[in-house]
Structure 1
Amino acid sequence: MADPATPALDPRTRRWVLLSAGACLLPLLLQLPLLIAVTIAVSAVAVVAMSWRQPLHGLVRLLLSVALIATVLAMSDFSIGRDTGCALLAAMLAIKPSETFSLRDARSLLGFALFAPFATFLLDQGPLSLALGLAATLLALAALQLLADVESGDVRRDASPMQRIAGTARLLALGLPLALAAFWLFPRLGSPLWGIPERAMASTGLSDRMSPGDWIDLMGDDRPALRARFFGPVPAPSQMYWRGPVMWDFDGRTWRQPRWMPGWTETAVEPGPQRWDYEIEMEPTDRRQLVALDLLISAPGGSELDPDHNLQSLTQLTGVSRWRMQSAPPRRYEASLSAETRQYALRLPPNFNPRTLALARQWRLEAGPSADGAIVTRALDWIRRDFAYTLETPLAGRNSVDEFLFDQRAGFCQHFSSSFVVLMRGAGIPARVVTGYAGGYRNSVGGYWLVRRSDAHAWAEVWLRGRGWVRVDPTAAVAPERIYDTLDDRRSVAGGLLDGFAGGRSLIDVGDWLRRGWNDFVLGFDANRQQRLLRPFGIDRLDDRTLVLLLMLAVALGLLWMVWFSRRNEREPDPVLRAWHGLTRRYRHLGLERAPDEPAGRWVERVAAARPELAGELRILSDRFSDWRYADGEPGGRSTRALTQALRAHRPSPRNGNNG
């Protein structure tokens, strides 16, 4: 509500303020769940429309606030996390314009709105969020400058929005060197002093449980999961199995990762001759789950392996992280299986999937007690002959494996891996489900491999005598002619902005390569990389004392830059006054420059006394300038531009012979 103690906003200034607040809200909305973001955006537009001419009644504002906050909390399942907090911040910002009609209200709205782009970085630290945040901050600061001009009564109505934004950008440029120096040189801690709350709303990603059909959202998510760079030989894409959680426990529908108790030891692995040396760049997931090529030789620093060779970070992956690893396809993996582990790997819930268990027992009788390999081959041949791959699958019932193997015979990796393991266990073969990612796409611009979340995959491991755990991918056994509905098919049907012209893939590669560069030079710049900052100059490692000295030097240079820049930009911002001052300086070589405290008329008379031939044109320009400056004789528009051009064009002629 407008406050009589402060000036009211005129429509033009209020539009500028609302536009700036909307720009601050935009990057935050882009990082919230779609339904919540749309709800808040629609509410903001409705509030602005309803309060366009006059503020809303206090009771209406209260009801709107309570309704929107309750809606956001309901959409968040009343869970509290940093994403919920950001959503509530956006909701309150959407309601605030309903009472913004005075200068004080406008300053309050803009100050409140500036929290939004900073809150965005709690959810995403990508270049788009930074660019939108910087643009929003620039608009908000320009709006604050406009409010200051309105309050002082010195507002320039002829100033365009771009002129105001450019003026604010020049002010921000003053502090840019100091900001960069602080980013690169301020000593960083190896670990943060505090953490940030977890997200309350789950995001897609690998989990410690798997139910057939639950991965549709994950498999439709094309965002990057990781990028891998190899040093030396590169495995074929068909051999890129990025191992994640391993599932043992099955309740008839859902597979779960076991909780290994103290006392379990890492299983014995005999690596094969092939070695893969690589580095992965993990995108943030707010979880501890890592993946590695099957199988990892040893856990890198800051991580640990469980007995299933599932890699976990010791801290949450709240930012981009890099991990140097070595893997090798195993020659033997836990070749000796204890009785307890064997019993665990054969466990099935009672009274589930009777047809599958009957078939498994039949195969065992027909194959004999020691023909595990033959049973595995028979199952894969069956899949190759009679099964199809599709994403269109009905909701599973109580006996989900029976329905898949005997009725549907069509599904995707979750169905194949789950049913295959149940069938193997029913035949007396120890088996388990392994989840992770499969394959990858080589970015031709950056020369690295990109694995997307849509590459999520589930396969099986069976235990065979003499070899131990052996990877079996039943999904890969599906005959090519029986692959009906894939993610690539759906992408081609849906189409895209870059689909349909030859350079589309190259542009996508360039975009991801730029994002990787951002991760490398900005998000991945940690304490270790800071200490190696001057390695290209022969300095292997920087200690904290050297960093502080470099920072002090950078601050000194930054202050010199600020002094130089400010003095360089001390000129008058008004083009007419700037042209007038330039005209008076052009009389310096004649010894007739105007003194700072000398009125225009008196200066012209002094010039006329010394150089009568210059008095006519100069007196006309002086009168025009005085009318513009004091009598408002030439208000803005064409007349102002014409006066500016005339002042800039005037040049005093050199002294002639008669006056020499």
Structure 2
Amino acid sequence: MAEALPAAALEPGARRWALLAGASCLLPLLLQLPAKIAAVVAATGLVVGALSWRRPLPALVRLLLVIALVGTVLVLARFAVGRDTGCALLAAMFALKPSETYTLRDARSLIGFALFGPFATFLLDQGPLSLTLGLAASTFALVTLQRLAQLDALAVPGQPPEPAAPVRQQLWSIARLIGIGLPLALAVFWLFPRLAAPLWGVPDRALARPGLSDRMSPGELIELMNDETVTLRARFHGAAPPTSQMYWRGPVLWDFDGRTWTQPRWFRGLPAAPFQTSATVWDYDLEVEATDNRQFVALDLPLAAPARSQLSYDYGLYAERSLTSLSRWRLRSSPPRAFEPELRPLLRRAALELPAGYNPRTLALAAQWRREAGADDAAVVERAMRMFHREFAYTLETPLLGRHSVDEFLFEQKAGFCEHFSSSFVVLMRAAGVPARVVTGYAGGYYNPVGGYWLVRRSDAHAWAEVWLRGRGWVRMDPTAAIAPERIYDTLADRTPGAGGLFGGIGASTPLFNVGDWLRRGWNDFVLGFDASRQERLLRPFGVDRLDGPRLLALFVLFASLAGAWMIWLSSRGERERDPVLRAWHALGRRYRRLGLEREPHEPALAWAERVAKARPDLAAPLRRLSQSFNDWRYADSQPGRREARALRNELVRTLRAHRPTRTGEPR
């Protein structure tokens, strides 16, 4: 049995190219991972690349690195099993790959593995930045693979490695390959008839993020408040409300078990409560990013449910299907003048219910306030708001509270964030006999002057309270705003997106963020939001109101045929132009066609020359010389790529082009 040939060693220049190509593929994925995981993976990749540059790492060291890195990633991901953790582990494994990259075969394996990086990025984000970085990384990887193939083909045993073709030439070659397939890809994207549910592509749920929950437990809201990603964008038709009135209403929580607030399911079957609108009406479009549930938010209060959604009793909006992809909604809202002025006994009991055996000090304080205020509920509410404003502080650094959480917060800790303030306020109101409930959603927003719209981030997650007062109905009370209004009313100095982030401080990041998010919104509108209904209206600017199925299919067939013809023409043209010597040699064979002596495709050069010599002895000598020169060039050159070899190639091309056989008796 023949022995396997040893793998070709990887010279330093080629290894540098391979590692840089791999790093470019990893970059877009790292930008989508949590900051701590991305930093650990990037640092590990740099350290492993430096330590293994001169000599391979021992197998035991590599094993320990794998265990340590995988364990660190799992700990930072809190041992969650899913898409995000899987992508983080993929990045971690790739960071260790340079420790075993020493041959051409290893380099090809590294780049092939690295190409999973851009693909995994699209599971986390499909924005224009991810696409741009992914395309650039894939192009870099393809150029590197081409260089490795050329180095492998030019390698001569016992000789120094020959240089690969110039980078500009390789980029042009890759660009031609992309240009061959791009028209057909665009035709398929824009014109292939779309169905309601996609048959291929990234699953919708893969892109969804956790949304607002129908429960609020200690510490749950803090995860949203630490996430700066955008959750919705709003464009107002006409005047926009002041930031202090931007309360984006989400789940309303009624039930309290001493620790967790939940939303009663049976409320969803009730008709929406009546409310009297004010003279102010806000008309706006919402662009909601993908979440993992059906509920979305609206300004307090929505006048009606838009198409494909329904309105709950307490004015929560629910889509017909889970919002696992980008969605758009047209809404109108108005601040209520009176919100459910008559409260039914069943609902009143639900808004006063408290679990037994919890928070005795809070119950005693509420009873005292009730005795002092008599039947004046508004006085109790006002007294509580004054207490929060005077005695409490805002902070995200809070210890976990015990069994009597409201007692500990009101009488000992006296510092927290909206989750603590709204929960303790509602418990205090219920204990004093004032119907109250917790409302969760988002507060405030950031105005993007480049795009002329407002954006709300997940970090704007907020919880406030509503109390029921006679004659007015439900009234919003926000103890957080009484304590830390800057947390509610966004300002450029305190709440600018990107402040202190990866790209620097406020002054440097604000214009960059504005332009970047405006581009992202355009990308959402132009690409991610391109669905079947948008496809039907594709030619409306050209006077075609609606593209039905047959016309859309005919248009797709037309453009796909044109794209196919383009592919065939460009491919065949590229094949003719690849090697000037082969091009001149094939042209020479065609010149002999009119003599009936064209070379057969299977016929060697010298055999063809001998066949021609028998039929036309006058052409034998020049054709033998040309055939021998061609054979030497094609098969006998031991050092292709030298300057002398290039000169010989040019001379051979000129000679082949100059030889023109004639018929017997024809003048030359």
Which TM-score bucket, shorter chain as reference? 0.7 to 0.9
Distance (Å, rounded) in 2 between the aligned partners of 1:484 and 1:300: 28
The alignment status of 1:446 with 2:451, answered yes or no, reads yes
**2 CA distance for matches of 1:120 and 1:22?**
14
The Cα shift of 1:308 comes to 2.3
Amino acid of the residue matched to residue 412 of structure 1? F
Deviation at 1:471, TM superposition (A): 1.5
Q: Secondary structure of the residue that 2:249 maps to in structure 1?
A: strand
- 1:362-403 deviation per Cα after TM superposition (whole angstroms, max 9, x unaligned): 22222223x222222232233344444444555544433334
Residue aligning to 1:587:
none
Matched, 1:361 2:367: yes
Tell me whether 1:381 sits opposite 2:386 in the alignment: yes
Partner of residue 242 from structure 1, selected from 248, 273, 285: 248
**What residue identity is the alignment partner of 1:144?**
L
| Residue identity matched to 1:88 | L
Partner of residue 8, structure 1? 8
Contact map agreement 2:296 2:318 (CA 8 A) in 1:
yes
Assess if the C-alpha contact under 8 Å between 1:81 and 1:199 holds in 2: no
Q: Label 1:66 to 1:443 Cα distance change in 2 as closer, same or farther (>3 A).
A: closer
How far apart, CA to CA, are the structure 1 residues paired with 2:522 and 2:499?
Answer: 32
Q: Residue 439 of structure 2 is aligned with which of 434, 440, 448?
A: 434
Q: CA deviation at 1:428?
A: 0.5
Q: 2:462 aligns with which of 453, 457, 465?
A: 457
Residue of structure 1 equivalent to 2:238? 232
**1:550 aligns to what?**
555
Q: Counterpart amino acid of 1:231?
A: H
1: distance between equivalents of 2:495 and 2:552? 52
1:167-206 equivalences in 2 (<5 Å): 167-193=173-199, 196=203, 205-206=211-212
Whether 1:279 and 2:280 are equivalent positions in the alignment is: no
Q: Which residue number corresponds to residue 466 of structure 1?
A: 471
How many residue pairs get matched?
603
1:17 aligned to 2:22? no
Residue 80 of structure 1 is matched in structure 2 by 81
Say if 1:206 and 1:244, in contact at 8 Å, map to a contact too. Answer: yes
Which is further off, 48-57 or 441-450?
48-57
In the alignment, structure 1 residue 532 sits paired with structure 2 residue 537: yes
More divergent stretch after superposition (486-495 vs 338-347): 486-495
Instruction: Give the residue type in structure 2 aligned to 1:438.
Output: A
- Greater Cα shift, 50-59 or 418-427: 50-59
The separation in 1 between residues aligned to 2:27 and 2:499, in whole angstroms, is 30
Aligned equivalents of 2:69, 2:146: Cα separation in 1:
31
What is the aligned partner in structure 2 of residue 653 from structure 1? none
2 CA distance for matches of 1:482 and 1:110?
Answer: 47
CA distance in 1, matches of 2:147, 2:493: 51
Q: Kindly tell me: are residues 378 and 637 of structure 1, through their superposed partners in 2, closer, same or farther at Cα, counting changes over 3 Å?
A: farther
1:470-481 equivalences in 2 (<5 Å): 470-478=475-483
* Residues 138 and 436 of structure 1: CA distance in aligned 2, closer, same or farther (over 3 Å): same
Deviations 1:615-636 (A, max 9, x none): xxxxxxxxxxx99x99899976
| 1:450-599 matched pairs, under 5 angstroms | 450-478=455-483, 489=494, 494=500, 497=503, 499=505, 501=507, 505-563=510-568, 565-566=570-571
**What CA distance in whole angstroms lies between the structure 2 residues aligned with 1:482 and 1:285?**
24
Whole-Å separation in 2 of the counterparts to 1:498 and 1:100: 35
* CA distance in 2 between partners of 1:179 and 1:213 (Å): 46
Deviation at 1:416, TM superposition (A): 2.3
In 2, distance between residues paired with 1:354 and 1:482?
Answer: 31
Query: Amino acid of the residue matched to residue 194 of structure 2?
Result: R
The aligned amino acid for 1:365 is R
Contact 1:81 1:198 in 2 (8 A): no
**Alpha-carbon offset, residue 489 of structure 1:** 4.8
1:260 is paired with a residue whose SS is helix
Give the corresponding residue for 2:117: 116
Task: Give the conservation status (yes or no) of the 8 Å contact 1:84–1:199.
Answer: no
Q: Deviations over 1:233-281 (max 9, x none)?
A: 4222221110011122223333233333775444334444433221111
Q: Percent identity?
A: 59
Note the C-alpha offset of 1:545.
Answer: 1.8
Q: Which moved more, 1:121-130 or 1:83-92?
A: 83-92
Which is further off, 473-482 or 436-445? 473-482
Give distance in 1, aligned partners of 2:486 and 2:189.
55
User: CA 1:637/1:417 → structure 2, altered by over 3 Å: closer, same or farther?
Assistant: farther
In structure 1, the partner of 2:274 is 268
The CA distance in 2 between the partners of 1:480 and 1:275, in whole Å, is 24
Maintained 8 Å contact 2:243/2:489: no
Which of 324, 328, 335 is the matching residue for 1:322? Answer: 328
**How many Å separate the matches in 1 of 2:285 and 2:487?**
36
Q: Distance in 2 between matches of 1:259 and 1:123?
A: 31
Q: What is the Cα deviation at residue 107 of structure 1? A: 3.5
CA distance in 2, matches of 1:406, 1:378: 16
Contact map agreement 2:341 2:471 (CA 8 A) in 1? yes
Deviation at 1:124, TM superposition (A): 0.8
- What displacement does 1:346 show? 0.9
Q: Evaluate the alpha carbon distance shift between residue 263 and residue 383 of structure 1 in structure 2; reply closer, same or farther with a 3 A threshold.
A: closer
Q: Which residue of 2 aligns with 1:608?
A: none
* Over 6 Å off, 4+ runs: 57-60, 479-487, 490-493, 629-641
Please report how far the alpha carbon of residue 466 of structure 1 lies from its aligned counterpart in structure 2 after TM superposition.
3.0
- Of 194, 218, 232 in structure 1, the residue corresponding to residue 224 of structure 2 is 218
1:388, 1:483 within 8 Å by CA — same for their partners in 2? no
Instruction: Report the CA distance between 1:291 and its aligned residue.
Output: 0.8
Shift of 1:358: 1.7
Give a deviation string over 1:301-343, Cα, whole Å, max 9, x none.
3333333222233433333221222222233333332322211
3-state SS of 1:121 partner: helix
Whichever residue aligns with residue 82 of structure 2, its letter is: G
Other-structure match for 1:419: 424
Aligned to 1:291: 297
3-state DSSP of counterpart to 2:295: coil
Deviations 1:113-158 (A, max 9, x none): 3222112111111112111211121122222223332443389615
Q: Sort the Cα spacing of 1:507 and 1:41 in 2 relative to 1 into closer, same or farther, 3 A.
A: closer
Check whether the contact 1:6–1:102 (CA below 8 A) recurs between aligned residues.
no
Q: Corresponding residue for 1:135?
A: 136
Of 313, 334, 338, the match for 2:340: 334
Listed one character per residue, the Cα deviations across residues 577-605 of structure 1 (whole Å, up to 9, x for unaligned) are 89x99xxxxxxxxxxxxxx999xxxxxxx
Hey, what does 1:654 align to over in structure 2? none
Q: What RMSD over aligned residues (CA atoms) do the two structures have, in Å?
A: 4.4
Structure 1, gaps ≥5 residues long? 582-595, 599-625, 649-660
- Give 1:623's aligned residue: none
Aligned 1:581-620 pairs, distance under 5 A: none
Aligned counterparts of 1:80 and 1:482: Cα–Cα separation in 2: 33
Q: Are the structure 2 counterparts of residues 292 and 328 from structure 1 closer, same or farther at C-alpha, using a change threshold of 3 Å?
A: same
Q: Quote the offset at 1:37 in angstroms.
A: 3.2
Which residue of the other structure, out of 293, 305, 315, is the alignment partner of 2:311?
Answer: 305
Instruction: Tell me the secondary structure at the aligned position of residue 309 of structure 1.
Output: coil
Alpha-carbon distance between aligned partners in 2 of 1:329 and 1:299, rounded to the nearest angstrom = 16
Per-residue deviation, 1:477: 2.8
Q: Tell me if the contact between 1:55 and 1:98 (Cα under 8 Å) persists in the aligned partners.
A: yes
Partner Cα distance (1:417, 1:78) in 2? 31
Q: Secondary structure at the match of 1:304?
A: strand
User: In structure 2, what residue type is equivalent to 1:171?
Assistant: L
